[in-house]
Structure 1
Amino acid sequence: MDPHLLRTFTAVARLASFSAAARELGYTQSAVSQHIAALEADLRTELLTRRPVAPTPAGARLLEHARPLLLRLDAARADVLRLAAAPPGRITLAASPLAAACPQLIAALPATGVTLRVLPPARVPAAVAAGDCDLGLVDGLAAPSDPLRLPDVAPLQVTGVAEEELAVLFPAGHPFAARHSVRLDDLADARWLDAPDVGLPLTTGRRALRYDGTDLHVLCALAAAGHGLVLLPRPVAEAARAGTAVPLAAPRLVHRTELVAPAGPSGAAAALAARLTAGSPS
């Protein structure tokens, strides 16, 4: 299959529009239609319905394969370009919102030469693999010293950076706000803020208000105002200017931050990676 046709197909499916895909890709609408027709002829099946524009069952299955395949191609291109040459001394570091608040990151950043790009956690490994960023920091829940489960988007080096205790942020008048610690089992019926791009994922409790942003101050303000509880790294929760942070006693989990890097980073990227991972957890 021609990767150019696959890119056109994924754009049309994502935007649900031939014309919008043509604008995004810089093609004419006729060229986009020809790409889809050629791909359907190659696979001998219809991939998109036209009114409305949506993947057929075969198209949905192809999308499952196309996205990681195209990302792998981008990663291969980026890897070769890194070997060819990179502007010395300038680094773009991608970080999820909670990873960007990690004290170890803040202490390791040089005064100049770095662009910090805050992205949703799921997008960080792909940004590094595709060469959009030189290094990345991701975070999540884990048992102490256990690595995070990251998507296999490309051959990337993954190193632990930090592990922090967890805390639940309560509004000041909450019955549990006066406790010294709390267990998640105690909060089985609690309402939690649904913040997929910034909050730590939980499978317990009920979902309250959904927050689609990445600003930690807004997330903490929503929790403090009683719109739902939120689980955070203890330093972040205690630094919030509203609400009450109560340490999590059980289950035994930590907030883990990991560095993702292409194989063999060099120059300024290698220096920053070494600073970030100095004294890293196992």
Structure 2
Amino acid sequence: MKQKVALVLGSGGARGLAHIGVIEELEARGYEISSVAGTSMGAMVGGFYAAGVLEPFAKRMCKLTMRDLWHYMDLTISSRGFVKGDRIFKTIHEEFTHDVNIEDLDIPFTAVATDLVSHQLEVFDKGSLFTAVRASISVPDVFTPVEVGKKRLVDGAVISPIPIPYVKRQKDDILVVVNLSGDDKSYEEQSKKMLRKSGKEIKKKEEEKQTLHQKLAQFFTFQMPGIKFDYLETMGKTIELMQREIAALTIRNHQPDIVIDIPFQLATPWEFERSAEIRAAGREIAVSALDAWEEKRLIKSAG
């Protein structure tokens, strides 16, 4: 009989691509994912998994370039967010979510978002999968909020970066949490090594990245005497710190059976062009975490 898993996927931008590798390793070992809950990229990956379209999504992401990212970033001058996201969300709807409702998925799925009006968490466990994913990944001040009635919904990570209380866990399920705010300084150097490829390829990637950054910097940098502020970098680090603290507290309070810690040093929230590397790292980290838990369980059963 397969061991069933209630899977919780945390927030962390591009690091969320590591969720794909974790799911691949769980399935390769014969675990059955019986329910999934996610925030932000965790909601996207978890929702696509529950809808049976994770593999096409993973293949699409592996082909993503910095040029593609710039194409999808339809900028808008607005107090509600500087990326409308129309191109991104049109692709998500047409290729992955379609008009599927959450209650019609093969396994129970839950996504969370934050309502800026009520200051409460909005829990999606029924209704439009597209709306749930769209709301959950809407990073404040980046994507424009999702309007649902009187609600203005943004990224669920503002309140719940790891939505453990909302996964539909059954009695004999083990609780597996993927935390994208882990801490392992050795990954700073490993992350750099991942990028040390052939000279032409790395030069091209760096040029594309600089071009994207320069275009964004026209809108999102400001200066004080002797100091230059990068809005995107400052905002990213602020969100990272906030999520790390909330995630650590949530894990302590709920004591999952297995915690798979993806180091925040692995990638920045915006490095989606490193999809294949991040996915592979997620699987590698999952191998270590699952090996440790299985060994502990074996020793316990033998004793």
TM-score of Structure 1 vs Structure 2, range by shorter chain: under 0.3
Q: Report the structure number with the largest CA radius of gyration.
A: 1
More relative contact order, 1 or 2 (CA 8 Å, 6+ apart): 2
TM-score by length of 1: 0.25
TM-score of the aligned structures, taking structure 2 as reference length: 0.24
Which structure shows the higher helix fraction?
2
